[in-house]
Amino acid sequence: MRPPSVDALARELADLDLPHPLLVDAARAAIAAGDPASARARAEARARSLLRPVINATGVLLHTNLGRAPLASRPSSPAGPSRARNLELDLGTGRRGSRQVHASSLLARLAGAESALVVNNGAAAVLLVLAALARDRAVVVSRGELVEIGGGFRIPEVLAASGAALVEVGTTNRSRLEDYTRAVSAHDPALVLKVHQSNYRMVGFTQSVPVEELAGLGPPVVADIGSGLLDATTPWLPGPPPSWLAGEPAARQTLAAGAALVTFSGDKLLGGPQAGILAGRADLVERCARHPLARALRPGGLVLEALQETALCYLRGDGKAIPFWRMATVAREELRRRAGAIAAAVPAGGVRGPVDCKAVAGGGSLPGLDIPSAGVALNGDHTPALRAWDPPIVGRVEAGSTILDLRTVDPADDAVLAGALAAVVGHRGQSPLGTGTGEARCT
Protein backbone atom coordinates (compact mmCIF):
# COMPACT_ATOMS: atom_id res chain seq x y z
CA MET A 1 0.00 0.00 0.00
CA ARG A 2 1.40 3.35 -1.02
CA PRO A 3 1.80 5.92 1.78
CA PRO A 4 -0.19 9.16 1.51
CA SER A 5 1.50 12.20 0.06
CA VAL A 6 3.16 14.54 2.52
CA ASP A 7 0.97 17.43 1.40
CA ALA A 8 -2.28 15.46 1.73
CA LEU A 9 -1.35 14.26 5.20
CA ALA A 10 -0.36 17.79 6.29
CA ARG A 11 -3.74 19.13 5.09
CA GLU A 12 -5.49 16.61 7.34
CA LEU A 13 -3.79 18.35 10.28
CA ALA A 14 -4.97 21.84 9.33
CA ASP A 15 -7.24 22.07 12.40
CA LEU A 16 -4.16 22.23 14.63
CA ASP A 17 -2.91 25.71 15.51
CA LEU A 18 0.46 25.34 13.78
CA PRO A 19 1.92 26.97 10.65
CA HIS A 20 1.70 24.77 7.57
CA PRO A 21 5.49 24.19 7.33
CA LEU A 22 5.47 22.56 10.78
CA LEU A 23 2.53 20.36 9.79
CA VAL A 24 4.52 19.29 6.74
CA ASP A 25 7.47 18.43 9.00
CA ALA A 26 5.23 16.23 11.15
CA ALA A 27 3.71 14.51 8.11
CA ARG A 28 7.10 13.91 6.52
CA ALA A 29 8.53 12.45 9.75
CA ALA A 30 5.52 10.16 10.20
CA ILE A 31 5.74 8.84 6.64
CA ALA A 32 9.51 8.34 6.91
CA ALA A 33 8.93 6.29 10.07
CA GLY A 34 6.45 4.11 8.21
CA ASP A 35 3.65 5.27 10.51
CA PRO A 36 1.49 7.94 8.79
CA ALA A 37 -1.11 7.63 11.55
CA SER A 38 1.39 9.17 13.99
CA ALA A 39 1.44 12.50 12.15
CA ARG A 40 -1.19 14.09 14.38
CA ALA A 41 0.56 13.01 17.58
CA ARG A 42 3.86 14.32 16.21
CA ALA A 43 2.30 17.68 15.32
CA GLU A 44 0.63 17.94 18.74
CA ALA A 45 3.94 17.17 20.43
CA ARG A 46 5.57 19.94 18.37
CA ALA A 47 2.87 22.37 19.49
CA ARG A 48 3.42 21.41 23.14
CA SER A 49 7.15 22.07 22.76
CA LEU A 50 6.59 25.75 21.91
CA LEU A 51 6.79 28.53 24.48
CA ARG A 52 3.24 29.26 25.67
CA PRO A 53 1.29 30.54 28.70
CA VAL A 54 0.68 28.03 31.48
CA ILE A 55 -1.17 28.14 34.79
CA ASN A 56 1.26 27.76 37.69
CA ALA A 57 -0.59 25.86 40.44
CA THR A 58 2.59 24.53 42.09
CA GLY A 59 2.65 27.01 44.97
CA VAL A 60 6.16 28.13 43.93
CA LEU A 61 5.83 31.86 43.38
CA LEU A 62 9.12 32.23 41.48
CA HIS A 63 9.24 28.90 39.66
CA THR A 64 12.43 28.88 37.60
CA ASN A 65 11.04 26.37 35.08
CA LEU A 66 7.97 28.58 34.59
CA GLY A 67 9.84 31.84 34.03
CA ARG A 68 10.03 33.02 37.65
CA ALA A 69 8.06 36.25 38.25
CA PRO A 70 4.93 36.52 36.10
CA LEU A 71 4.62 39.82 34.29
CA ALA A 72 1.52 41.95 34.26
CA SER A 73 -0.40 41.50 31.01
CA ARG A 74 -0.65 44.69 29.01
CA PRO A 75 -3.74 45.50 26.92
CA SER A 76 -3.07 45.02 23.24
CA SER A 77 -4.69 46.87 20.38
CA PRO A 78 -4.31 44.77 17.22
CA ALA A 79 -6.11 47.38 15.18
CA GLY A 80 -3.86 50.17 16.40
CA PRO A 81 -0.68 51.39 14.72
CA SER A 82 2.63 49.61 15.24
CA ARG A 83 4.97 52.18 16.76
CA ALA A 84 8.66 52.39 17.50
CA ARG A 85 10.12 53.22 20.93
CA ASN A 86 12.61 55.94 21.88
CA LEU A 87 15.05 53.24 23.00
CA GLU A 88 18.20 55.21 22.15
CA LEU A 89 16.78 58.57 21.12
CA ASP A 90 16.87 61.66 23.32
CA LEU A 91 13.49 63.24 22.53
CA GLY A 92 14.63 66.56 23.99
CA THR A 93 17.66 67.02 21.74
CA GLY A 94 16.80 64.72 18.86
CA ARG A 95 20.23 63.12 19.20
CA ARG A 96 21.19 59.56 20.01
CA GLY A 97 20.62 58.74 23.65
CA SER A 98 21.24 55.77 25.94
CA ARG A 99 18.98 52.77 26.39
CA GLN A 100 20.02 52.77 30.05
CA VAL A 101 18.50 56.11 31.06
CA HIS A 102 14.88 54.93 31.18
CA ALA A 103 14.50 51.97 33.54
CA SER A 104 17.93 52.38 35.15
CA SER A 105 17.24 55.85 36.51
CA LEU A 106 13.96 54.67 38.06
CA LEU A 107 15.61 51.63 39.64
CA ALA A 108 18.40 53.80 41.03
CA ARG A 109 15.86 56.05 42.69
CA LEU A 110 14.01 53.09 44.18
CA ALA A 111 17.23 51.59 45.56
CA GLY A 112 18.55 54.86 46.94
CA ALA A 113 21.54 54.61 44.58
CA GLU A 114 23.46 57.28 42.70
CA SER A 115 23.21 55.30 39.48
CA ALA A 116 22.20 51.93 38.07
CA LEU A 117 22.82 49.73 35.04
CA VAL A 118 20.74 46.89 33.57
CA VAL A 119 22.20 43.75 31.97
CA ASN A 120 20.56 40.51 30.88
CA ASN A 121 20.62 38.49 34.14
CA GLY A 122 21.94 38.40 37.69
CA ALA A 123 25.05 36.36 36.91
CA ALA A 124 25.90 38.82 34.14
CA ALA A 125 25.72 41.70 36.63
CA VAL A 126 28.27 40.01 38.90
CA LEU A 127 30.50 39.09 35.96
CA LEU A 128 30.47 42.64 34.59
CA VAL A 129 31.28 44.21 37.96
CA LEU A 130 34.22 41.86 38.51
CA ALA A 131 35.56 42.27 34.96
CA ALA A 132 35.27 46.07 35.01
CA LEU A 133 36.49 46.72 38.53
CA ALA A 134 38.77 43.84 39.49
CA ARG A 135 40.45 42.28 36.45
CA ASP A 136 43.99 41.09 37.33
CA ARG A 137 43.41 42.02 40.97
CA ALA A 138 42.25 40.20 44.09
CA VAL A 139 38.66 39.91 45.26
CA VAL A 140 37.99 38.77 48.83
CA VAL A 141 35.08 36.37 49.40
CA SER A 142 34.01 34.31 52.42
CA ARG A 143 34.31 30.55 51.93
CA GLY A 144 30.74 30.27 53.16
CA GLU A 145 29.58 32.33 50.15
CA LEU A 146 31.34 30.42 47.36
CA VAL A 147 28.04 29.00 46.23
CA GLU A 148 26.75 27.42 43.04
CA ILE A 149 23.61 28.97 41.59
CA GLY A 150 21.15 27.48 39.14
CA GLY A 151 22.50 26.08 35.90
CA GLY A 152 25.84 25.09 37.43
CA PHE A 153 27.31 28.61 37.66
CA ARG A 154 29.77 28.79 40.55
CA ILE A 155 31.10 31.96 42.12
CA PRO A 156 34.76 30.85 41.78
CA GLU A 157 34.21 30.18 38.07
CA VAL A 158 32.52 33.56 37.54
CA LEU A 159 35.52 35.18 39.24
CA ALA A 160 37.94 33.26 37.05
CA ALA A 161 36.02 34.20 33.88
CA SER A 162 36.19 37.88 34.85
CA GLY A 163 39.97 37.81 35.20
CA ALA A 164 39.87 38.55 38.93
CA ALA A 165 41.80 36.51 41.49
CA LEU A 166 39.82 34.85 44.26
CA VAL A 167 41.02 35.27 47.83
CA GLU A 168 39.06 33.02 50.21
CA VAL A 169 38.64 33.94 53.85
CA GLY A 170 37.17 32.21 56.89
CA THR A 171 35.74 28.71 56.88
CA THR A 172 32.64 27.16 55.35
CA ASN A 173 30.51 28.02 58.36
CA ARG A 174 32.28 30.91 60.09
CA SER A 175 33.93 34.06 58.76
CA ARG A 176 35.08 36.88 61.04
CA LEU A 177 36.06 40.48 60.46
CA GLU A 178 39.69 39.70 61.30
CA ASP A 179 39.73 37.16 58.45
CA TYR A 180 38.85 39.91 56.00
CA THR A 181 41.26 42.37 57.64
CA ARG A 182 44.22 40.02 57.16
CA ALA A 183 43.26 39.35 53.54
CA VAL A 184 42.93 43.06 52.73
CA SER A 185 46.31 43.78 54.30
CA ALA A 186 48.03 40.92 52.48
CA HIS A 187 46.48 41.20 49.01
CA ASP A 188 45.38 44.82 48.46
CA PRO A 189 42.15 43.65 46.82
CA ALA A 190 40.12 45.63 44.32
CA LEU A 191 36.86 44.57 45.95
CA VAL A 192 35.30 42.76 48.86
CA LEU A 193 32.46 40.63 47.50
CA LYS A 194 29.51 39.51 49.65
CA VAL A 195 27.32 36.89 48.00
CA HIS A 196 23.70 35.93 48.67
CA GLN A 197 23.60 32.20 49.36
CA SER A 198 20.54 31.63 47.17
CA ASN A 199 18.96 28.21 47.93
CA TYR A 200 21.85 27.26 50.23
CA ARG A 201 21.44 27.91 53.92
CA MET A 202 23.63 27.09 56.90
CA VAL A 203 22.20 26.86 60.41
CA GLY A 204 23.75 26.18 63.76
CA PHE A 205 27.37 27.11 64.47
CA THR A 206 27.72 29.89 61.91
CA GLN A 207 29.03 33.43 61.69
CA SER A 208 29.23 36.01 58.92
CA VAL A 209 30.29 39.64 58.70
CA PRO A 210 27.63 42.27 57.90
CA VAL A 211 28.11 44.90 55.21
CA GLU A 212 28.42 47.65 57.82
CA GLU A 213 31.66 46.13 59.15
CA LEU A 214 33.06 45.19 55.75
CA ALA A 215 32.58 48.77 54.53
CA GLY A 216 35.17 49.98 57.04
CA LEU A 217 37.96 47.87 55.56
CA GLY A 218 38.77 50.24 52.68
CA PRO A 219 38.09 48.43 49.38
CA PRO A 220 34.64 48.91 47.85
CA VAL A 221 32.13 46.33 49.02
CA VAL A 222 30.00 44.73 46.30
CA ALA A 223 26.97 42.89 47.68
CA ASP A 224 25.21 40.41 45.44
CA ILE A 225 21.83 40.38 47.17
CA GLY A 226 20.44 37.98 44.58
CA SER A 227 16.71 38.06 44.92
CA GLY A 228 16.11 41.74 44.26
CA LEU A 229 14.16 43.03 47.26
CA LEU A 230 14.29 46.79 46.76
CA ASP A 231 13.42 48.04 50.24
CA ALA A 232 13.02 46.04 53.44
CA THR A 233 10.19 48.37 54.55
CA THR A 234 8.09 47.41 51.45
CA PRO A 235 6.45 50.85 51.08
CA TRP A 236 4.53 49.58 48.04
CA LEU A 237 2.45 47.30 50.29
CA PRO A 238 -0.19 48.29 52.84
CA GLY A 239 0.78 47.48 56.40
CA PRO A 240 4.08 46.06 57.68
CA PRO A 241 6.41 43.91 55.56
CA PRO A 242 5.36 40.23 55.29
CA SER A 243 6.92 38.14 58.06
CA TRP A 244 8.43 35.70 55.56
CA LEU A 245 10.71 38.49 54.27
CA ALA A 246 12.52 38.79 57.61
CA GLY A 247 16.27 38.62 57.11
CA GLU A 248 16.18 38.98 53.32
CA PRO A 249 18.78 41.60 52.23
CA ALA A 250 17.37 44.63 50.44
CA ALA A 251 19.07 46.98 48.00
CA ARG A 252 18.26 50.27 49.76
CA GLN A 253 19.35 49.10 53.20
CA THR A 254 22.48 47.36 51.87
CA LEU A 255 23.64 50.53 50.13
CA ALA A 256 22.80 52.60 53.21
CA ALA A 257 24.95 50.20 55.26
CA GLY A 258 27.97 51.09 53.17
CA ALA A 259 28.02 48.83 50.12
CA ALA A 260 29.49 50.57 47.08
CA LEU A 261 27.40 48.45 44.70
CA VAL A 262 24.58 45.94 44.91
CA THR A 263 23.69 43.43 42.21
CA PHE A 264 20.39 41.58 41.94
CA SER A 265 17.97 39.86 39.58
CA GLY A 266 14.98 41.44 37.91
CA ASP A 267 12.72 38.38 37.85
CA LYS A 268 12.71 37.40 41.51
CA LEU A 269 11.42 39.57 44.37
CA LEU A 270 11.54 42.62 42.09
CA GLY A 271 8.74 40.98 40.11
CA GLY A 272 9.95 42.05 36.67
CA PRO A 273 11.46 40.38 33.61
CA GLN A 274 14.70 38.42 33.54
CA ALA A 275 17.46 40.99 33.98
CA GLY A 276 20.43 41.81 36.15
CA ILE A 277 20.69 45.15 37.92
CA LEU A 278 23.75 46.76 39.45
CA ALA A 279 23.25 49.92 41.47
CA GLY A 280 25.32 52.16 43.70
CA ARG A 281 28.16 54.64 43.30
CA ALA A 282 27.95 56.55 40.04
CA ASP A 283 31.70 56.30 39.30
CA LEU A 284 31.70 52.52 39.63
CA VAL A 285 28.53 52.11 37.59
CA GLU A 286 30.07 54.29 34.87
CA ARG A 287 33.20 52.12 34.77
CA CYS A 288 30.98 49.07 34.33
CA ALA A 289 28.98 50.79 31.59
CA ARG A 290 32.17 51.61 29.63
CA HIS A 291 33.49 48.03 29.76
CA PRO A 292 33.23 46.08 26.45
CA LEU A 293 31.21 43.35 28.17
CA ALA A 294 28.45 45.87 28.90
CA ARG A 295 27.40 45.89 25.26
CA ALA A 296 27.50 42.11 25.00
CA LEU A 297 25.37 41.76 28.12
CA ARG A 298 22.90 44.57 27.49
CA PRO A 299 19.16 43.75 27.43
CA GLY A 300 16.75 44.44 24.60
CA GLY A 301 14.03 47.01 24.44
CA LEU A 302 11.24 44.64 25.52
CA VAL A 303 13.07 43.84 28.77
CA LEU A 304 13.83 47.48 29.47
CA GLU A 305 10.22 48.50 28.84
CA ALA A 306 8.94 45.77 31.16
CA LEU A 307 11.42 46.86 33.83
CA GLN A 308 10.32 50.47 33.43
CA GLU A 309 6.67 49.48 33.89
CA THR A 310 7.58 47.48 37.00
CA ALA A 311 9.58 50.37 38.44
CA LEU A 312 6.74 52.81 37.82
CA CYS A 313 4.38 50.52 39.77
CA TYR A 314 6.78 50.68 42.72
CA LEU A 315 7.05 54.45 42.51
CA ARG A 316 3.26 54.72 42.50
CA GLY A 317 3.16 52.55 45.63
CA ASP A 318 0.95 50.11 43.72
CA GLY A 319 2.22 46.69 44.79
CA LYS A 320 -0.98 45.00 43.64
CA ALA A 321 -0.15 45.94 40.05
CA ILE A 322 2.93 43.69 40.28
CA PRO A 323 1.70 40.08 39.94
CA PHE A 324 4.35 38.64 42.26
CA TRP A 325 3.38 40.88 45.17
CA ARG A 326 -0.31 40.46 44.47
CA MET A 327 -0.12 36.68 44.74
CA ALA A 328 2.42 36.74 47.56
CA THR A 329 0.25 38.85 49.86
CA VAL A 330 -3.30 37.64 49.22
CA ALA A 331 -4.92 36.44 52.47
CA ARG A 332 -5.19 32.71 53.00
CA GLU A 333 -8.91 33.10 53.74
CA GLU A 334 -9.44 34.47 50.26
CA LEU A 335 -7.59 31.48 48.80
CA ARG A 336 -9.79 29.15 50.87
CA ARG A 337 -12.90 30.87 49.54
CA ARG A 338 -11.75 30.43 45.95
CA ALA A 339 -10.78 26.80 46.56
CA GLY A 340 -14.19 26.04 48.01
CA ALA A 341 -15.91 27.57 44.99
CA ILE A 342 -13.76 25.55 42.57
CA ALA A 343 -14.41 22.30 44.42
CA ALA A 344 -18.15 22.98 44.54
CA ALA A 345 -18.20 23.71 40.80
CA VAL A 346 -17.05 20.21 39.86
CA PRO A 347 -20.15 18.00 39.36
CA ALA A 348 -20.55 14.97 41.62
CA GLY A 349 -17.54 15.94 43.73
CA GLY A 350 -14.19 14.23 43.33
CA VAL A 351 -12.26 17.39 44.21
CA ARG A 352 -11.40 18.29 47.80
CA GLY A 353 -11.23 21.89 48.78
CA PRO A 354 -10.20 23.96 50.44
CA VAL A 355 -7.02 22.22 51.61
CA ASP A 356 -4.38 24.21 53.48
CA CYS A 357 -0.99 24.43 51.77
CA LYS A 358 2.41 25.96 52.27
CA ALA A 359 3.70 27.88 49.27
CA VAL A 360 7.34 28.91 48.83
CA ALA A 361 9.01 31.89 47.18
CA GLY A 362 11.37 29.78 45.03
CA GLY A 363 13.84 31.15 42.51
CA GLY A 364 16.67 31.07 45.06
CA SER A 365 14.83 33.41 47.42
CA LEU A 366 13.98 32.78 51.07
CA PRO A 367 15.12 29.13 51.23
CA GLY A 368 13.28 27.00 53.77
CA LEU A 369 10.58 29.58 54.50
CA ASP A 370 6.90 28.81 53.91
CA ILE A 371 4.01 31.10 52.99
CA PRO A 372 0.59 29.91 54.23
CA SER A 373 -1.67 29.04 51.32
CA ALA A 374 -4.72 27.00 50.25
CA GLY A 375 -5.84 25.05 47.21
CA VAL A 376 -7.73 22.03 45.96
CA ALA A 377 -6.81 18.34 45.74
CA LEU A 378 -7.98 15.15 44.05
CA ASN A 379 -6.89 11.58 44.58
CA GLY A 380 -4.25 10.15 42.28
CA ASP A 381 -1.70 11.60 39.88
CA HIS A 382 -3.52 13.68 37.27
CA THR A 383 -0.61 15.96 36.40
CA PRO A 384 -0.11 14.59 32.84
CA ALA A 385 -3.76 15.27 31.95
CA LEU A 386 -3.61 18.75 33.48
CA ARG A 387 -0.43 19.60 31.58
CA ALA A 388 -2.23 18.56 28.38
CA TRP A 389 -5.10 20.98 29.08
CA ASP A 390 -5.41 24.21 27.12
CA PRO A 391 -3.89 26.22 28.70
CA PRO A 392 -1.59 23.74 30.47
CA ILE A 393 -1.94 23.53 34.25
CA VAL A 394 1.10 22.61 36.33
CA GLY A 395 0.50 21.20 39.81
CA ARG A 396 2.17 18.76 42.16
CA VAL A 397 1.60 15.23 43.42
CA GLU A 398 1.95 14.72 47.14
CA ALA A 399 1.00 11.72 49.26
CA GLY A 400 -0.95 10.20 46.38
CA SER A 401 -2.96 13.35 45.62
CA THR A 402 -2.76 16.01 42.94
CA ILE A 403 -2.51 19.43 44.58
CA LEU A 404 -3.32 22.75 42.91
CA ASP A 405 -2.14 25.64 45.09
CA LEU A 406 -4.14 28.80 44.39
CA ARG A 407 -1.56 31.26 45.72
CA THR A 408 0.19 31.08 42.37
CA VAL A 409 -3.00 31.07 40.27
CA ASP A 410 -4.60 34.28 39.01
CA PRO A 411 -8.27 34.43 40.11
CA ALA A 412 -9.22 34.92 36.46
CA ASP A 413 -8.07 31.32 35.85
CA ASP A 414 -10.28 29.73 38.53
CA ALA A 415 -12.91 28.86 35.93
CA VAL A 416 -10.27 27.21 33.75
CA LEU A 417 -9.13 25.11 36.73
CA ALA A 418 -12.69 24.08 37.49
CA GLY A 419 -13.28 23.06 33.87
CA ALA A 420 -10.08 21.04 33.75
CA LEU A 421 -10.84 19.30 37.03
CA ALA A 422 -14.35 18.46 35.88
CA ALA A 423 -12.88 16.83 32.78
CA VAL A 424 -10.28 14.95 34.80
CA VAL A 425 -12.89 13.42 37.12
CA GLY A 426 -15.03 12.45 34.14
CA HIS A 427 -17.44 15.34 33.67
CA ARG A 428 -16.44 17.10 30.47
CA GLY A 429 -17.95 20.40 29.50
CA GLN A 430 -18.01 23.99 30.60
CA SER A 431 -17.22 24.95 34.14
CA PRO A 432 -20.21 26.28 36.14
CA LEU A 433 -17.92 29.17 37.17
CA GLY A 434 -17.71 30.38 33.58
CA THR A 435 -16.05 29.48 30.33
CA GLY A 436 -12.84 27.49 30.58
CA THR A 437 -12.04 26.58 27.07
CA GLY A 438 6.82 21.91 41.05
CA GLU A 439 6.92 22.52 44.34
CA ALA A 440 3.98 23.21 46.60
CA ARG A 441 4.02 21.48 49.93
CA CYS A 442 0.53 20.84 51.23
CA THR A 443 -0.82 19.46 54.47
Mean pLDDT, the chain, rounded, equals 88
User: Please, what is the angle between helix 122-134 and helix 282-290, to 10°?
Assistant: 90
pLDDT value of residue 246: 85
Q: Has residue 38 got a pLDDT over 80?
A: yes
> Is the CB of residue 120 less than 8 Å from the CB of residue 274?
yes
CATH 3.40.640.10 describes domain 103-317: yes
CA distances from 82 to 78, 166, 302 (A): 9, 49, 14
Q: Has residue 150 got a pLDDT over 70?
A: no
In this predicted model, what pLDDT tens digit does every residue of 60-95 receive, in sequence order?
998 888 888 888 755 444 556 777 888 888 888 888
Instruction: Answer whether 0.85 is exceeded by the pTM.
Output: yes
Compute how many other C-beta atoms are within 10 angstroms of the C-beta atom of residue 77: 6
With b meaning 16 or more CB within 10 Å and e meaning fewer, what string describes 295-333?
eebbbeeebbbbbbbbbebbeeeebebbbbbbbbbbebe
pLDDT value of residue 299: 94
Mean pLDDT of 45-66: 90
pLDDT value of residue 101: 85
Q: Which CATH class is domain 55-72+325-442?
A: alpha beta
In this predicted model, what pLDDT tens digit does every residue of 332-349 receive, in sequence order?
999 999 999 999 998 777
In this predicted model, what pLDDT tens digit does every residue of 168-198 receive, in sequence order?
999 888 889 999 999 999 999 999 999 987 6
Domain ranges across the chain: 55-72+325-442, 103-317
Q: Has residue 236 got a pLDDT over 60?
A: yes
CA distances from 164 to 132, 133, 135, 161, 195 (A): 10, 9, 5, 8, 16
